Chains A and B, each alone.
Chain A
Amino acid sequence: MRKTLTAPTSTPAPARTRRTWVGVLIGAALVALAAVSLLIGASNDVSVSSLAKGDGDALFLLAASRIPRTVSLVLVGASLGIAGLIMQMLVRNKFVEPSTTGVTEFAVLGMLIALVFWPGMPILPRMAFISLFALAGTWIFLRIIRFVPVRTLVLVPLVGIMLGGVVGAATTFFAYRLDLLQSLGQWSQGSFATVMRGRYEFLWVAVVMVVIAWLAADRFSVIGLGEEFATNLGLDFRRVVAIGMIIVAVITACVLVTAGVLPFLGLVVPNIVSLIIGDNVRRAIPWVAGLGSVFVVACDIIARVVRFPYEIPLSVVVGIVGAGLFLWLLLRRRGRVH
């Protein structure tokens, strides 16, 4: 708080131009990476020259495979970043995101149940079903967190990771008993290898959630200051929390159904953005969305190139890069106040 009070009087102009420049940089990186993403793939038909010539095969692959894949990467990156950001505001903790609060594990449990009882369920009802589980997971996490007496920075995600561990163990147990362990692994492993036209469109549901998050952005900033503060400002605290929970749950479910589990992303991206521009949600949303997209597109390009023309699972790349950044954030903070 003190910082925001003093900042405008001391150094307003340079900080702002620096931010603008980083923003431009993220935008440029996204455009460049998206272009690379369009040109990389198992097929060699798509190249700058073949596209310029209007080659039929190249245009077909571009439309049927490359553009859907790149668009879905951008959407997943943006929405997962936003889900992390909202979650962090709800819990008032920098180290939470769906995969460190058990929400992802609840969603995977929902997916397993859907798989066992309604194997032929169409994708939209399945997504709604998984969303319900993710919602229950968020709710349970928030309830448990209330009873944690000392909310130190790392204790909250630790509780979340333990909750996720318990739910994950239950899921694994049932998958094991039902001989679905390998199928479950296959389904929840994050990968965009088979994304194509007609298989990614419901990701737009996640975009709707991002728009809602953006519209309600100021409210999330306020609840990030605490329940009493928010109520004093005349905000319906519970309702805003409920909206936030729904946003997080639906985004988690959309991404799980389309691509699988991509860990750490919702944690790393908002933290980096917060380092650059601070904690104002409305201002942070486009940044988080942009940086999240850059992160996922870049990781997917690595996943496609390492064993070309085969692919390695995207979640492996995201996990390695994300875990590295997570550690960096953690150690960097400990060096300071806590």
Chain B
Amino acid sequence: MSMIRPLSALSLVAASALVLAGCASQNDAEAAAGGDAPAGADETIEFTFENNIAGEDEEPEYESVTVNVPKDPENVVIFDMASLDTWGSLGGAPVVGAPLDSVPDYLADFVADDAINAGTLFEADLLEIEAAQPDLIIVAGRSATLYDDLREIAPTVNLSSEGSFEETLERNTTFLGEVLGAEDEAATALADIEAQLAEVRELTAEIETGLSVMVSGDSLSALKPANGDYSGRNLRGGLVYDLFGVAPITDDIEAATHGEPISFEFLTEFDPEYLFVTDRNAATNEEGAQSADVVLDNDIVHETTAWKNDNIVYLDPTAWYIVFGGLQTTQIMIDDITAGVA
């Protein structure tokens, strides 16, 4: 189950290929208003993205897809939590369908009270969605494979990562801003996040070394910096290094969705100054609560520099593991790192 499809070299072009298309009357209106066109019923935005047409577990193969997206759509179904986050943060109307079981509390307001359960993060309930008659469907990452089925129902866009985290965030925020006619809000939010990121990177520049680990069950795995390969398996934990500028304790970590298994001894041997912990137990099983701190509270970890200096940073599991993307979530991630290293 790969998460977000890797980027092709051309995707940056696609990211910038966001254009407003319109009929003649719209152009007239635009000319008259000297700016944004008022939302019209049949007004659409052309959006181009790289769609992976290779099957699951195969070498990705990309095809450029252009979709005409209706402006100001009323009934929207969103599978991707990061897109839901950005959609709602830019003032989009509560969506009529989403994988309800996976919507984190802080995004609950972005879903309509009577919204249908569209499926899971990976699967779609096609009948329910068909019945809801959506104007627009958004998939990304985990749900990207649903694209072919969903496009039969309504205009569907795949907002899977293209390029680095920041590039994807910028492309998606700009696009959703245009769909919602909230271009200014989108630009402001992006500028704000950029400024905050710059501040956090100043903080992390003072850290010598860090290691990002994931705790699942009782076991421990090390997460890898992307080193330019921004495919899904490098995301999440890799963001500690790639987005927030923490220097990894070692570059030799194999890319794997859930990291590479390590022993506690690994921590004493490499002994990073900071340890960034994603608690998969808590991310997927709320009743299990924060158990990563129990797993890490042992004799061997007590010997590490990170433990002695109280430099073990627990990352918000929902934000870092489930959502990782979107405006509010990125804010949570920024706050996590700021609080952790300040």
The residues of A with any CB-CB pair to B shorter than 8 Å are: 41-45, 57, 60-61, 64-65, 115, 119-120, 179-180, 182-183, 186-187, 191, 193-194, 196-199, 307, 309-313
Contacts and interface: CB of A to CB of B under 8 A. Distances in A.
B295 to A, nearest CB: 7
Contacts of A199: 218, 298
Residue among B217, B281, B300, B303 with max Cβ neighbours from chain A (10 Å): B217
B219 interface: yes
A240 B31 CA distance: 93
B262 A61 contact: no
B284 A61 contact: no
B264 A310 contact: no
Contacts of B61: none
A57 B101 CA distance: 47
B321 to A, nearest CB: 11
Contact of A183 (B101, B270, B281, B298): B281
21 contacts: A43-B265, A43-B268, A43-B269, A57-B268, A57-B303, A115-B285, A119-B289, A179-B120, A183-B285, A186-B280, A187-B217, A194-B295, A196-B300, A309-B269, A310-B253, A310-B254, A310-B260, A310-B262, A310-B266, A311-B261, A311-B262
Contact of B266 (A191, A197, A309): A309
A310 B101 CA distance: 35
B263 interface: yes
B141 to A, nearest CB: 16
Contacts of B288: 119-120
Given A42-B263, A193-B219, 18 more contacts: A42-B262, A42-B265, A42-B266, A57-B303, A119-B285, A119-B289, A182-B280, A183-B280, A187-B217, A191-B219, A194-B220, A194-B263, A194-B264, A196-B264, A196-B299, A196-B300, A199-B298, A310-B254
Contacts of A61: 265, 268, 300
Interface string B219-241: 11010000000000000000000
B58 to A, nearest CB: 21
A45 B266 CA distance: 11
Residue among A182, A194, A197, A199 with max Cβ neighbours from chain B (10 Å): A194
Contacts of A193: 219-220, 261-263
Contact of A182 (B120, B216, B220, B299): B216
A229 to B, nearest CB: 46
Contacts of A182: 216, 258, 280, 284
Contacts of B258: 182, 186
Contacts of A310: 222, 253-254, 260-262, 266
The secondary-structure label for the interface of chain A is: loop
B303 A313 contact: no
B102 to A, nearest CB: 8
B287 interface: yes
Nearest to A184: B217
A187 B288 CA distance: 14
A119 B262 contact: no
A180 B284 CA distance: 7
A169 to B, nearest CB: 18
B53 to A, nearest CB: 26
A44 B268 CA distance: 10
Nearest to B123: A176
A42 B264 CA distance: 8
Interface of B: 101, 120, 216-220, 222, 253-254, 258, 260-266, 268-270, 280-281, 284-285, 287-289, 295, 298-300, 303
Nearest to A189: B219
Given A187-B217, A310-B254, A64 B299 contact: yes
B33 to A, nearest CB: 48
A230 B89 CA distance: 76
A60 B299 CA distance: 9
B299 A198 contact: yes
Nearest to A61: B265
Contact of A64 (B216, B280, B281, B300): B300
Contacts of B298: 196-199
Contacts of A186: 216-217, 219, 258, 280
A179 B270 CA distance: 34
Q: Which 8 A-B pairs have the closest CB atoms?
A: A42-B266, A43-B269, A42-B265, A186-B217, A43-B265, A186-B216, A310-B260, A119-B288
A196 B302 CA distance: 13
Nearest to A44: B269
A65 B269 contact: no
B205 to A, nearest CB: 27
Nearest to B302: A64
Contacts of B218: 194, 199
Residue among A43, A64, A180 with max Cβ neighbours from chain B (10 Å): A43
A309 B264 CA distance: 11
A191 B217 CA distance: 12
A119 B282 CA distance: 11
Contacts of B254: 307, 310
Contacts of B216: 182-183, 186
A60 B301 CA distance: 12
Contacts of B300: 61, 64-65, 196
Contact of B261 (A180, A191, A198): A191
Nearest to A187: B217
A194 B262 CA distance: 8
B22 to A, nearest CB: 43
A147 B114 CA distance: 53
Contacts of A44: 269
A127 B223 CA distance: 31
Nearest to B102: A179
Contacts of A309: 262, 266, 269-270
A199 B299 CA distance: 11
A40 to B, nearest CB: 10
A119 B286 CA distance: 10
Given A64-B300, A194-B218, A310-B260, A41 B265 contact: yes
Nearest to B295: A194
A73 to B, nearest CB: 13
Contacts of B295: 194
A66 to B, nearest CB: 8
